[in-house]
Amino acid sequence: MSCYEKAREKYKSYGVDTEKAIAVLKTVPISLHCWQGDDVVGFDGAGSLSGGIQTTGNYPGRARTPEELMSDIDKAISLCPGTYKLNLHACYAILNGEQVDRDAYSPRHFAPWVAFAKERNMGIDFNPTFFSHEMVKDNLTLSSPDEEVRRFWIEHGKRCIEISQYFAEETGMPCVMNIWIPDGYKDMPADRLGPRLRFKEALDEILSIPYDKTKVFVCLESKVFGIGMESYTVGSGEFCMNYVAQNGITPLMDNGHYHPTEVVSDKVSAMLAFHKNLALHVTRGVRWDSDHVVLFDDETKEIAKEIVRASALDRVFIATDYFDASINRISAWITGLRSVQKALLYALLEPYEKMQKLQNENRMTELMVMQEELKTAPFGDVWAEYLAREQVPEDYIKEILEYEEKVLVKRI
């Protein structure tokens, strides 16, 4: 018997079908964030990153052009099992020297990305970029008291909905469009309500343009604080949760955006009780919203379990969101994407109905014992089988280091 066959028997003894788990896993799309490849810089001349987020490190090989980024994404997905969507930010527009600003971007500025995605049978998700731009005034965009600033960003939001619909129509797959604004104050504001009311009105205006709600899922991402905006964040948890509920759009939770003892895994079911869809940014905050590479750690596993236990794999839009410039960027992608997949597989290998029954019969002793036993079940053998069937190597570091030597180090 092979290791996998033994593992299959072991899981069968728990009442779990490993074949079914593998079959489900490979169809779950994970939205791959393009911005890990170039430290969230983009191609529209933004220059340096603003918005209270930060990439640290200067490992060689940052992608400097669309071609480099595309080639790096290809390398990453060639070493990842499963299904992917491409997650773009508006600042990745390919302008070819055209003098056009973000309030006037149009589908043509993203045509090469559509061609890239179509060739790989990937859907595209999208994000307006409300940072790294001179129209961010005093750390404010959609909530700015300056009418001109607000107008610029409202137009940007509208253009992004149009572009999202173009992505959905071209790829034949829905586009998840996420709005996140960095707006906030470093120190105590006097008026906390004003900026929130302006943000609310601006969102209403953006969403007032007609779009096909079966093709474009507009999300709103909340945040607790940003660097340089420690005292007040306009798009706080409560603001965003209320806005999405009242306006029928999709909440987006980034697990780096909460107080350190709060966990998104516990929030998933609470949100699913009220929303048809939920979008996630899977990241790893170390001490703050540091956007470290996602690992196969406890919280990632718990998030995956909550999605699977709720039978919500088709309701939850899973995206990665982190940026580490201190290690090989392609390896950072692969480790994170594989970690999300591992967590989902781990979750799919739970005898959930049995566990739910134990809970409902208040057999908590047995439930604890079962949960502990599962931790040492032969998960690794099922993972290895999945990789083999998807024809990707278990150990990818050799290929990464080769690519680093042949391609990345030459970019200096």
The binding site for ligand RNT (CB under 6 A) comprises 35, 40, 53, 127, 180, 221, 223, 254, 281, 289, 321
Residue 103: CB atoms within 10 Å: 15
Has 291 been annotated as catalytic? yes
The answer to whether residues 163 and 201 touch, using CB atoms and an 8 Å cutoff, is: no
Per the residue annotation, which of 170, 321, 324, 404 is the catalytic one?
A: 321
Burial of 201 (0-12, 13-18, 19+ CB in 10 A): middle
Query: Residues 193, 145: contact at Cβ < 8 Å?
Result: no
Q: What are phi and psi of 181, to 5 degrees?
A: -115, 145
**Which lies closer to ligand RNT via its Cβ, residue 18 or residue 300?**
300
Looking at the Cβ atoms of 184 and 378, the one nearer to ligand RNT is 184
Query: In the window 230-259, what residues touch Zn ion (CB under 5 A)?
Result: 254
CB 310, CB 268: distance < 8 Å: yes
- Measured from the CB atom, is 166 or 317 closer to Zn ion? 317
Is 281 a known active-site residue? yes
CB of 88 to ligand RNT, least distance (A): 10
281 binding Zn ion? (CB under 5 A): yes
289 tagged catalytic: yes
- C-alpha 59/C-alpha 38 separation (Å) is 11
Supply the minimum distance, in Å, between the C-beta of residue 221 and ligand RNT: 5
Tokens found for residue 113: 């990305």
CB of 208 vs ligand RNT, minimal distance in Å: 23
Our answer to whether residue 223 is catalytic in this structure is yes
How many chain residues are in contact with Zn ion, going by CB under 5 A?
A: 3
Burial tier of 393 (Cβ tally within 10 Å: 0-12, 13-18, 19+)? exposed
Question: Which of 255/341 has CB closer to Zn ion?
Answer: 255
Active site residue 321: yes
Task: Show contacts with Zn ion in window 314-333 (CB under 5 A).
Answer: 321
**How many CB atoms neighbour CB 402 within 10 A?**
10
Active site residues: 180, 221, 223, 254, 257, 281, 289, 291, 321
> Which residues bind to Zn ion, rule: CB under 5 A?
254, 281, 321
